[in-house]
Amino acid sequence: MNDAPAGGLARRNTIDPVTLEVLRNALEATADEMGAVLKRTSFSPNIKERMDASCAVFDAKAQLVAQAEHVPVHLGSMLRSVEKTIAAAGGLDDGDVVIVNDPFTNGSHLPDITVVAPVFAEDRHIAYVATRAHHADVGGMEPGSMPGNSHEIYQEGLVIPAVKLYRRGELQDDVMRLILANVRTPEERRGDLNAQLASLRIGERRIRELAARYGADLVTAGFEAILDYTERRMRRRLAEFPPGTYCGEDFLDDDGNSDEPVRVNLTITVSPEKLVLDFAGSSPQRPGNINAVAPMTYSASFFAIKVLTDPEIPVNAGTFRSVELHIPEGSFLAAKPPAAVCAGNTETTQRIADTVLKVCAQFAPDRVPAASQGTMNTIAVGGSDPRGKIPGGRPYSYIETIGGGQGGRPMGPGDDGIQCNMTNTMNTPVEALEITYPLRVERYELREGSSGAGKHRGGNGLVRAIRSLDHTARVSLQCERRRFAPYGLHGGADAKPGHNYVVQGDGQIRDEPGKASLSLRPDEIIVVETPGGGGWGAA
């Protein structure tokens, strides 16, 4: 590690470079193991199959120290929200666990439930561990808690402020019962919450083992050394960009309540000391649910900047000390209550990332790909499962984000049918979906011809078609790039936009908008065709 500590740690002669690198990798392995425990012990396909969850380690000041390679939109927002969550809970004692999903504290949307626990060693507090997981239902007006047309947070589900689920090791059963009484699938929620708690326990154990091996003083000093080391590496990379001021914009199709496009406007100022991203001129907070809380804007911006640099640079609180954001008050990029925000996570972050990358292409053209699909293509299906012996059926809720085309890259074509940019989840295997839910997957295939042409073509999107079996289901869609296509770069062509529609019982096609909630009869099929990626370079 050639950039090992040159500041205060070196003067105190507390950590040698080899030990520091061992510590850094041990912390990242801890976050990875937390994720493995969560995946293997969870109940819902959304976590045990798709791994729509993320795990991380923080120091005693709630600065992110290490993360697993999980979902970017989760991890980037946790950089700024864990400290706020701990403060809202009034601090944490040994054995406490705080639970939260309130977007205006938690920095995401309601289905993302976060649990945080402190780690104590040698009779003092040295760290925090945190796990965030997307729960397949948290109540609200539609199954899946991702309605297409919500206009206030209360329609999107149960709001859990930062409250203690455990106090000094004792479960607060009234808190758990209150949560489970307000969701459609309480046993699945209990199972997933217990899996999150198990994830915290393994994280606590591994950090205490590090403290026992090296001493708590060295471990805590190592936290700060890791952040300083990362900051130095990131500053060196950012200094390679030519100084100047660069501008650009992109648009969301609509907010789900009107047809008016929603603007993301951005100016990036590059200097030897820092990058400044200014979102002045972006649209104001909107009636629909594409509003993003500020940590979401930070998350997407940090992601886009990070992918332009060395992939070997760790991601932690030190990585972005040299990146500054200005987000205008009152804009849809810094939503305030009671705004609807569920698509701010899934859709708006994708457009923010697209916009940042588009502007960065002006000063780093050999590092930036054309636009990827620019949406998570979220589909939620729920209702009462007619299978089994429960009168009226057992409530269920299925949630999925569907991959699409990656943008063509400076070094080659984009990949077909993958999750891009702000999400990193797997798909739900068809077999697991059909065993768990009263649904049948009629088609799951590449959407040929959806990629943008160019010297390096974009990737193709996907087609996923789902039939409801023996019952009428409710379907919610949150999709983008149905109107504004993923852009090509440097002469490459735009990709084909996405398309949602229902195949009715008589074979007729009924088009559906990108954001909608609707009923799906047993003789109908909902079809989601996802966008491709834009082309890079003239063909």
406-461 confidence digits (pLDDT tens): 999 999 999 999 999 999 899 999 999 999 999 999 999 999 999 999 999 999 99
What residue segments make up the domains of the chain, in order of their start? 8-233, 369-539
**pLDDT confidence band for 13 (50 / 70 / 90):** very low
Mean pLDDT to the nearest integer, 130-156: 98
Kindly state the average pLDDT of the residues 151-174: 98
Residue with tokens 């940090």: 302
Predicted confidence at residue 70, as pLDDT, reads 80
CA distances from 492 to 307, 325, 456, 479 (A): 21, 30, 8, 24
Instruction: Tell me the C-alpha distance between 240 and 242, whole Å.
Output: 7
Mean pLDDT value across residues 467-472? 96
3-class SS at 443?
strand
Phi, psi for 107 (deg, rounded to 5): 75, 25
**Cβ–Cβ under 8 Å, residues 69 and 424:** yes
Q: Which residue has the tokens 């990029």?
A: 333
Residue 284: other Cβ atoms inside 10 A: 13
pLDDT-derived band at 3, boundaries 50, 70, 90: very low
- SS3 state at 96: coil
> Tokens in use for 207?
């950090």
Residue 388 has pLDDT above 90, yes or no: no
Phi, psi of 436 (to 5 degrees): -80, -35
* Residue type at position 480: E
The model's pLDDT over 182-193, given as tens digits with 9 standing for 90+, comes to 999 999 999 999
State residue 424's pLDDT score. 87
H-state helical runs in 124-185: 173-180
Instruction: For residue 130, list its beta bridge partners.
Output: 56, 116
The length of the chain is 539
Amino acid at 458: G
Tell me the CA end-to-end span of the chain in Å, nearest whole number: 42
- What would the DSSP string read from start to end of 5-73? --SHHHHHT---HHHHHHHHHHHHHHHHHHHHHHHHH--SHHHHTT--EEEEEEETT--EEEE-S--HH
What span, in angstroms and rounded, lies between the C-alpha atoms of 254 and 250?
12
On the question of a cis peptide bond just before residue 5, with omega within 30 degrees of 0, the verdict is no
Q: Residues 337-381: pLDDT tens digits?
A: 999 999 999 999 999 999 999 999 999 999 999 999 999 999 999
Q: List, edge to edge, every strand of the sheet that includes 323-326.
A: 244-252, 262-270, 275-278, 323-326
> pLDDT value at position 145?
98
pLDDT at 526: 99
Task: Return d(Cα 9, Cα 27) in angstroms, integer.
Answer: 19
Q: Determine the Cα–Cα distance for residues 278 and 264; give it in Å rounded to an integer.
A: 11
DSSP string of 100-134, one letter each residue: E--HHHHSS-TTEEEEEEEEEETTEEEEEEEEEEE
pLDDT at 211: 98
Q: Which of 175, 195, 56 is nearest to 119 (CA)?
A: 56
Residue tagged 């729960």 (tokens): 135
β-bridge pairing 275-278 and 323-326: parallel
d(CA 211, CA 17): 18
Report the pLDDT value the prediction gives residue 69, as an integer from 0 to 100. Answer: 84
Q: Does the pLDDT value for residue 10 go beyond 50?
A: no
Token duo for residue 434: 């059909």
Give the separation between CA 221 and CA 231, rounded to whole angstroms.
16
Residue 183 CA to residue 189 CA, distance in Å, equals 8
d(CA 277, CA 259): 28
- Of the chain, the percentage scoring pLDDT greater than 70 comes to 97
What is the per-residue pLDDT for 403?
Answer: 98
The share of the chain scoring above pLDDT 90, in percent, equals: 92
Confidence of residue 11 (pLDDT cuts 50, 70, 90): very low
**How do residues 43-93 score in pLDDT, each as one tens digit?**
999 999 999 999 999 999 999 999 988 888 877 889 889 999 999 999 999
Cα distance between residue 416 and residue 411, in whole Å: 16
194 pLDDT higher than 80: yes
pLDDT recorded at residue 7: 39
User: What single DSSP character describes residue 485?
Assistant: P
The residue with tokens 């009263």 is 438
Give how far Cα 149 sits from Cα of 225, 238, 254, 258, 342, Å.
47, 40, 11, 10, 10
pLDDT of 9 over the 60 cut = no
Phi, psi angle pair for 346, to nearest 5°: -80, -35
CA gap 97, 103 in Å, rounded: 18
Residue 165 near residue 115 (C-beta atoms within 8 A): yes
In this prediction, residue 4 has a pLDDT band, given cuts at 50, 70 and 90, of: very low
Range 113-138 average pLDDT? 98
CB count within 10 Å of CB 88 equals 18
Read off the pLDDT band of 5 (50, 70, 90).
very low
> How much is the pLDDT for 74?
78
Beta-bridge partners for 509 = 503
pLDDT band at 389 (very low <50, low <70, confident <90, very high): confident
